[in-house]
């Protein structure tokens, strides 16, 4: 008869907490037991470095028994003595792994490599009681007798002598009625592939095989790949292996990636990473509710989560990859990361590496970088507003079309600044829905005449970003549709026009009082009669349209109507007023003038039917004459 012992802690309360509250997913029990088995193999393999005779074919075996409703997880690792069992299994949260590491750190011979051990808290074993109403553990350490531990997860456990010829540990779970699914081969395979696919040792399960003579034999099937390619040198990895792993990682399928990036960090935070820059944006890139974010996190090859948002800033959410940490602490269930400064350090390192690789791609493979930026630029630009620490690095890699560039050709901010005339002091840009719309804006005319370039910012995010992006290379950004236009060369001419066409200005102010806050002349225009400008503090028309498209209430803002004193239409208008023309007809001219300015900037007219009637009326009158 075995010896019955009481657990050394407030067992009933603590076990109930672990069984019912600690883990949110029952599948975790197999991950924990496999992780413990891997620890035991690590310890045994480490000992075999000084005792080669103890080396063996290391493996973890999972055996379902449908007839007896048991699931056995066995390893041929280091095993335990009776004292070890009492110390590490009989006492909850007494971590044998942690004690083993402390022992190794205190050893005199520092030359041998330290084994990588997963366990930290010594409680993963008890997750077995989530699916089992009885657990038996049979273990033997080399040179010591075998021992059997058993418990129903209540207040006590039983220790007994056992028969076991080889060192190692077997854990036999007597499954609960509602846990029969864990006897199914497909379920076991699924859990192993998800959580333990990259454990360094083969995880096997029995498999019946039939030879050519139809004789049935029992063999073994390996469930895990053991191919943690992020731990290998890039020179040792084939293209097919990269493609296969990228397909495994990416949330939207496909084998096409632009670049694979390896990282190895040592020091305060040790980790390895393999990151992929994709070629094409997934369909759900702009659908945050259905898009997974973050990298896959492993701790010493053991899968923790496939959505660790803390490892990447949100504007790099299209990057997929793996981070495998050696020293990142977890809470006792390993399901939720503790808030830890190491996470921030990893994110800083990973973000810096990705931005550095993007810049290299821009410098060395411009064509592919531009294609990449067209796909992901609208997301990357979010970082200009949200990531102040990396804002300058991001400014070096963002790209825009420009007025002087060919359609579809993008330039960087540095390229824009390098091409600026010596007299130009600011970086000029215009925002809008698409290139065609902004390229036809009358506000560009002055810059064309002066040989300056204007950046076309046509992503919805641009308007929002530019509210916090003030300078680049000590040059201020200037929206050509906002604020006053300073032109000292033509200041006298504009002042004279304001007096010469005073009646036109007053008439337009009166007729368009509901729509414009001011009417004035400027030298901004060359070929068009007028354009609409935004007061420096007001929303731009592009941003207003975006808000309205999102059903947001946008306060009506009046615009500034700027006139071109050299345009014959403005002079003809002044002449008609001076000649005492029909005021009703002049009112139609004023409204058409305003509406065509709206259309030129890409904004809709307030009343299309009225606009059509006014144009028809004016055309009819002109044709009759």
Residue 112 lies in a domain: yes
Residue 101 lies in a domain: yes
pLDDT at site 458: 93
**What are the backbone angles phi and psi of residue 414, rounded to the nearest 5°?**
-65, -40
Strands (E), 226-319: 257-265, 271-278, 295-299, 302-308
* Burial per residue of 351-363, b for 16 or more beta-carbon CB atoms within 10 angstroms, e otherwise: bebbbebbeebbe
Residues 464-480 pLDDT 10s? 899 889 999 999 999 99
Q: Which positions ≥6 away from 298 have C-beta within 8 Å?
A: 198, 228, 304, 322, 323, 324, 325
The position carrying tokens 């902004």 is 438
Exposed / middle / buried, residue 311 (Cβ in 10 Å: 0-12, 13-18, 19+): buried
Comparing 508 with 226, the larger pLDDT belongs to: 508
Contact 9, 92 (CB under 8 A): yes
Answer yes or no: do 470 and 512 share one domain.
no
Strand 320-325 and strand 295-299: the pairing is: parallel
Residues 87-115 pLDDT 10s? 877 665 555 555 655 665 676 665 555 56
Question: Per the structure, how many domains does the chain have?
Answer: 4
**What are the backbone angles phi and psi of residue 563, rounded to the nearest 5°?**
-110, 150
pLDDT > 90 in the chain, percent: 48
pLDDT at site 274: 96
pLDDT at site 526: 86
428 pLDDT more than 90: yes
Write the CATH number for 333: 3.30.230.80
332 pLDDT more than 90: no
* Range 132-149 average pLDDT: 95
What's the gap between Cα 61 and its chain centre?
37
Last residue of a domain, one of 166, 195, 222: 222
Select the highest-mean-pLDDT range: 466-475, 529-538, 599-608: 466-475
Residue 153 lies in a domain: yes
Answer yes or no: do 113 and 23 share one domain.
yes
Contact 397, 364 (CB under 8 A): no
* Burial per residue of 185-223, b for 16 or more beta-carbon CB atoms within 10 angstroms, e otherwise: eeebbebbeebbbbbbbbbbbeeeeeeeeeeeeeeeeeb
Last residue of a domain, one of 170, 192, 222: 222
Residues 250-272 pLDDT 10s? 755 556 899 999 999 887 678 99
What's the mean per-residue pLDDT of the chain?
86
Residue 526 lies in a domain: yes
Q: Give CA–CA dist 273/299, Å, rounded.
A: 11
Which of 449, 413, 442, 440 has its CA nearest to residue 428? 413
Answer yes or no: do 161 and 104 share one domain.
yes
Structure tokens at 153: 């997860």
**Domain of 404, in residue numbers:** 398-479
Q: Which positions ≥6 away from 517 have C-beta within 8 Å?
A: 535, 558, 559, 560
Q: Give CA–CA dist 570/556, Å, rounded.
A: 27
Band (pLDDT 50/70/90 cuts) for residue 155 is confident
Residue 618 lies in a domain: yes
Torsion of CA 240, 243, 244, 245, to 10 degrees: 120
Residue 383 lies in a domain: no
pTM over 0.75: yes
pLDDT at site 96: 58
141 pLDDT more than 50: yes
Answer yes or no: do 113 and 178 share one domain.
yes
Q: Is 87 helix (H, G, I), strand (E, B) or coil?
A: helix
Q: Give CA–CA dist 326/341, Å, rounded.
A: 15
Answer yes or no: do 126 and 156 share one domain.
yes
Residue 168 lies in a domain: yes
* Range 443-461 average pLDDT: 92
Answer yes or no: do 244 and 347 share one domain.
yes
Write the CATH number for 464: 3.40.50.11260
DSSP string covering 447-512, please?
Answer: HHHHT---EEE-SHHHHHHTTT--EETTEEEEETTBS----GGGHHHHHHHHHHTHHHHHHHHHHT
Residue 369 lies in a domain: no
Which of 297, 267, 64, 278 has its CA nearest to residue 185? 64
Structure tokens at 319: 């990057």
Q: Give CA–CA dist 109/219, Å, rounded.
A: 41
Answer yes or no: do 189 and 150 share one domain.
yes
Q: Give CA–CA dist 209/218, Å, rounded.
A: 6
Last residue of a domain, one of 190, 222, 254: 222
pLDDT at site 406: 94
Answer yes or no: do 10 and 67 share one domain.
yes
Answer yes or no: do 533 and 469 share one domain.
no
334 pLDDT more than 60: no
Residues 179-219 pLDDT 10s? 999 999 999 999 999 889 999 899 999 988 777 777 778 88
Helical (H) or strand (E) element with 206: strand 203-210
Q: Is 275 helix (H, G, I), strand (E, B) or coil?
A: strand
Q: Give CA–CA dist 332/162, Å, rounded.
A: 31
Answer yes or no: do 472 and 495 share one domain.
no
Answer yes or no: do 465 and 497 share one domain.
no
Answer yes or no: do 297 and 211 share one domain.
no
């Amino acid at each position: 008869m075995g010896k019955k012992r009481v657990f050394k802690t407030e067992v009933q309360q603590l076990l109930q907490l672990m069984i019912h509250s600690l883990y949110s997913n029952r599948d975790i029990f197999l991950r924990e037991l496999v992780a413990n088995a891997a620890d035991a193999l690590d310890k045994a393999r480490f000992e075999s470095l000084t005792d080669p005779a103890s080396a063996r074919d290391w493996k973890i075996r999972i055996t379902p028994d449908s007839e007896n409703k048991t699931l056995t997880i066995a390893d041929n690792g280091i095993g335990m003595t009776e004292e070890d069992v009492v110390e590490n299994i009989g006492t909850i949260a007494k971590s044998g792994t942690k004690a083993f590491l402390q022992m190794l750190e205190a050893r005199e011979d520092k030359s041998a490599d330290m084994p990588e051990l997963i366990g930290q808290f010594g409680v993963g074993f008890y997750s077995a009681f989530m699916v089992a109403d009885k657990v038996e553990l049979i273990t033997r350490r080399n040179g010591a007798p075998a021992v059997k531990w058993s418990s129903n997860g209540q207040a006590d456990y039983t220790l007994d002598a056992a028969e076991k010829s080889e060192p190692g540990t077997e854990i036999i779970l007597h499954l609960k009625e509602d846990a029969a699914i864990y006897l199914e081969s497909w379920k076991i395979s699924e859990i192993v592939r998800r959580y333990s696919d990259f454990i360094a040792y083969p995880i096997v399960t029995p498999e019946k095989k039939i030879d050519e003579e139809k004789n049935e034999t029992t063999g073994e099937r390996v469930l895990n790949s053991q191919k943690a390619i992020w731990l290998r040198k890039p020179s040792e990895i084939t293209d097919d292996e990269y493609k296969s792993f990228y397909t495994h990682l990416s949330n939207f399928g496909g084998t096409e990636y632009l670049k694979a990036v390896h990282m190895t960090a040592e020091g305060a935070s040790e980790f390895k990473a393999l990151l992929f820059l994709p070629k094409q944006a997934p369909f759900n890139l702009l659908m945050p509710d259905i898009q997974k974010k973050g990298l896959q996190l492993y701790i010493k090859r053991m899968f923790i989560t496939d959505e660790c948002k803390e490892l990447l800033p949100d504007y790099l959410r299209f990057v997929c990859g793996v981070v495998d940490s050696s020293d990142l602490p977890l809470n006792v269930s390993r399901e939720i990361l503790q808030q830890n400064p190491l996470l921030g350090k990893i994110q800083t390192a990973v973000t810096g590496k990705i931005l550095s690789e993007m810049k290299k791609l821009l410098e060395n493979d411009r064509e592919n970088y531009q294609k990449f930026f067209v796909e992901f630029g609208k997301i990357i630009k979010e970082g200009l507003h949200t990531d102040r620490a990396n804002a300058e690095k991001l400014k070096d890699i963002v790209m825009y079309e420009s007025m002087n560039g060919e359609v579809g050709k993008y330039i960087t901010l540095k390229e824009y600044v390098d091409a600026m005339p010596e007299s130009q002091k600011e970086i000029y840009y215009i925002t809008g829905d698409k290139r065609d719309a902004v390229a036809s804006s009358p506000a560009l005319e002055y810059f064309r005449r002066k040989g300056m370039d204007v950046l076309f910012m046509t992503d919805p995010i641009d308007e929002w970003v530019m509210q916090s992006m003030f300078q680049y290379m000590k040059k201020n950004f200037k929206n050509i549709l906002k604020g006053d236009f300073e032109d000292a060369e033509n200041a006298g001419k504009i002042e004279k026009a304001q007096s010469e066409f005073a009646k036109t200005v007053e008439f337009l102010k009166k007729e368009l009082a509901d729509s414009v806050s001011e009417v004035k002349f400027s030298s901004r225009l060359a070929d068009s009669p007028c354009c609409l400008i935004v007061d420096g503090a007001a929303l731009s028309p592009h941003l207003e349209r975006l808000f309205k498209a999102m059903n947001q209430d946008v306060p009506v803002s009046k615009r500034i109507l700027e006139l071109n004193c050299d345009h014959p239409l403005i002079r003809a208008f002044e002449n008609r007023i001076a000649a005492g023309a029909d005021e009703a007809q002049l009112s139609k001219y004023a409204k058409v003038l305003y509406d065509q300015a709206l259309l030129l900037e890409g904004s809709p007219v307030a009343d299309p039917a009225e606009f059509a009637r006014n144009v028809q009326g004016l055309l009819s009158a002109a044709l009759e004459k």
